[in-house]
Structure 1
Amino acid sequence: MQYKTQLREAEDNWEKNLETKISHLETENSVLKAKINQLENEAKEMKDEAKKMKDEAKQMRDEEKRMKDDLQRKSDQKENDDQKSRDEIQSLRTRIQQLELSDLTRQQDTIKQNQKNEKIEENMKHLIHKTEVLENHSRRDNLRIIGLPEDHDKRKILDIILQEIIQENCPDILEQEGKVEIERIHRSPPVLNPQLTTPRNVIAKFKNYQTKENILQAVKKKSFRHHRTTVRITQILAESILKDRKAWNMIFQKSRELGLQPRINYPAKLTISLEGKVWSFNKIEEFQKFVKKRPEQNRKFDVPAQNSREPSKGN
């Protein structure tokens, strides 16, 4: 009986222990399930994280590829731009060389043209001078009579009137046979302008140059008249010579006031008497240099200072 009781107690204890163990196992199983769920969740999270990282890695690879492509494109564009710049620089250099060559050619052409122009100018000056010489030579035997009334030559021809003027004012000039040889004589202009109140000038060309010079010398000594009418007789010169002579006016007048006996010789040369000598000057500059070396005369003429050589001397 006691054995049964012990056996029953043992069975009860075993059952309790078994239940306890089962309870522990169930608890452990629950814990394991919870851990498994946790691990599964963690595995899922890790899987999701891995997928996310994989996606990010793909995005990074795509971004890297895009950046490489963009960098390559920019590099290619830069190379193209650099090549274009090099081509433009080369083109500019070529253009500059062409312009420099063209400019050099223009300069050479300009130099040649200037030389040609200078040659033409020299030829023109030579031709003008030659023309003036020929013009003056053609006029060297001519005289101009100013103030002779028009009605005088209505009664007599001009040739006879001129003979009368010479006879009346300088009879000693008359040549053999009592007559001055005249090549031609006429009024200038040839046509009378009724609106003019002054008579036209008379131009006379003498056959003998010395006769003309003798008349000019006589005119300087006295006023010429014809039948109580005063007439002026002057030499006919080219405009250029008249201009050169006119340039001496102020110096000529001052020289006359100072008693230097000034004269204007052909074509436009000034002569003065000073210090017992006759000095001649072809240009005003020569006269200015001359008086500069003589302070007393320089003050009288008020000539600006210039350096010069001594002008020519004559007797």
Structure 2
Amino acid sequence: IDQQRQPSGNIPGLTDLEFKREIVKILKELREDMNSNADTLRKELENIRRSQEKLEHSFAEMQTELGAVKTRMNNAEERISDMEDRIMEITQSGQQTENRIKKLESNIRDLWDNIKRANLRIIGIPEGVEKDKGMENIFEEIIAGNFPNLKDTGFKIQEAQRAPNKLNPNRPTPRHIIIKMAKVSDKERILKAAREKQNVTYKGTPIRISADFSTETLQARREWQEIFKVLKGKNMQPRILYPARISFKIEGEIKIFPNKQKLKEYKIKAFPDKNKSEGVHHH
């Protein structure tokens, strides 16, 4: 029996025709698989492209939102800066207004003090004694009884009255007597004599003679009362200077202080070892 010779490389058991058909079939299947894979790849690439577009769109939106946030932050910072500037302006304006008010109050005080510059304030004269004698005669008796070297000076009085004008029945002490001198120099001479004598009396009753000031100046001067007593007790020759400064002699030198804080600072600096137990007391 003659056997047909098979070509080299053929699948065993197949004729050339069957082999070709098989090859065509395999190629067709391979092409279909490739086409299918290509379609799948195209779809995947399309999905990737769409996802990329979405990412790009989202990124663009994020950039836009970030830009908007930055803009809002910048606007907020500008508003905060404007508010800080405004607050600073208001603070400065308030400080300037406060300074102007203080200056105005000081000017008014100085004006009142200038009006009262020639006045003497006599404290401790019983109510009603002036009804029989009159204010001027009482004043002359005070001068003659306490300062005999001044009684023939010929002081001229412009005005004399109680202050306040209206009597308060609930007031435990007599109203002060205000004497307006014709000359400021006469007032100063009487005050100097009163300081030197220290114990001034009227018919045996202790009285005080002082300068007459505005309510504000009087209040400021009263702040020194307790310290004044301490200094006087230590024989430090204290004096209240206009408008409300205190002076005293220490270690042969006259010291002047405008307020208690300055006096306290001086005491701490000058007497560091005596602050707890000695020196000038503060109230």
Show the counterpart of 1:101. 78
Residue of structure 2 equivalent to 1:80: 57
Task: Tell me what 1:20 maps to.
Answer: none
Are 2:159 and 1:181 aligned? no
Which residue type is aligned with residue 100 of structure 1? E
| Aligned with 2:169 (options 168, 179, 194) | 194
Distance 1:252 1:231 in 2: 18
What SS does the aligned partner of 2:168 have?
Answer: coil
Q: Which amino acid aligns with 2:177?
A: V
Tell me what 1:34 maps to.
none
Q: Which amino acid aligns with 1:96?
A: M
Q: Alignment partner of 1:261: what SS?
A: coil
Does structure 2 conserve the Cα–Cα contact (< 8 Å) formed by 1:216 and 1:233? yes
Please state if 1:224 is matched with 2:201: yes
1:236–1:263 CA distance, 2 compared to 1 (3 A): same
The answer to whether residue 212 in structure 2 is matched with residue 236 in structure 1 is yes
Aligned: 1:145 with 2:119 = no
Q: 1:247 Cα deviation (Å)? A: 5.1
Pairwise CA distance, 1:86: 1.4
Q: How does 1:14-93 map to 2 (within 5 A)?
A: 74-93=51-70
> Deviation at 1:87?
1.5
Check the 8 A contact 1:173/1:211 in 2, yes or no: no
**Separation (CA, whole Å) in 2 of partners of 1:296 and 1:234:** 37
1:270, CA displacement in angstroms? 0.7
1:185–1:202 Cα contact (<8 Å) kept? yes
Q: CA deviation at 1:258?
A: 3.7
What TM-score, normalized to structure 1? 0.60
State how far apart, in whole Å, the 1-side matches of 2:92 and 2:102 are. 15
* Distance of aligned partners of 1:230 and 1:99 in 2 relative to their CA distance in 1, 3 Å threshold: same
The one-letter code sitting in structure 1 at the alignment partner of 2:207 is V
2:106 maps to which residue?
A: 129
Percent identical pairs in the alignment equals 26
**What code does the residue aligned with 1:92 have?**
V
Tell me, which stretches of 5 or more residues in structure 2 are unaligned?
1-28
* Higher helix proportion (structure 1 or 2): 1
Distance in 1, Cα, partners of 2:267 & 2:172: 46
Greater RCO, 1 or 2 (C-alpha within 8 Å, sep 6+):
2
Q: How many Å separate the matches in 2 of 1:117 and 1:106?
A: 16
For 2:207 and 2:230, the matched residues in 1 are separated by: 27
Shift of 1:242: 4.3
Inter-partner Cα distance in structure 1 for 2:124 and 2:270: 45
> Do the aligned residues in 2 keep the contact of 1:186 with 1:203 (CA within 8 Å)?
yes
User: 2:255 is matched with which residue?
Assistant: 280
Contact 1:255–1:272 at 8 Å: present in 2 too?
no
TM-score (normalizing by structure 2): 0.66
Aligned partner of residue 126 in structure 2, secondary structure:
coil
Superposed displacement of residue 297, structure 1:
7.8
Q: Contact 1:263 / 1:272 at 8 angstroms: preserved in 2?
A: no
Relative to structure 1, the CA distance from residue 253 to residue 169 in structure 2 (aligned partners, 3 Å threshold; closer, same or farther) is closer
Residue 266 in structure 1 maps to residue 264 in structure 2:
no
Does residue 207 (structure 1) correspond to residue 185 (structure 2)? The answer is no
For residue 205 of structure 1, give the secondary structure of its aligned residue in structure 2: strand
Deviation (angstroms), 1:171: 4.0
Residue 105 of structure 1 aligns to a residue whose secondary structure is: helix
Structure 1 residues 126-161: Cα deviation after superposition (integer angstroms, max 9, x where no partner): 333322322222222222222323322333432333
1:85-142 Cα distance to aligned partner (Å, 9 max, x none): 2111111111222222233333333444444344334433333332232222222222
Change (3 A) 1:188 1:258: closer
After superposition, the Cα gap between the structure-2 partners of 1:154 and 1:252, relative to the gap in structure 1 and judged at 3 Å, is closer
Aligned 8 A contact 2:231 2:280 in 1: no
For residues 149 and 257 of structure 1, the distance between their equivalents in structure 2, rounded to whole angstroms, comes to 28
More off after superposition, 143-152 vs 255-264: 255-264
- What is the one-letter code of the residue matched to 2:166? V
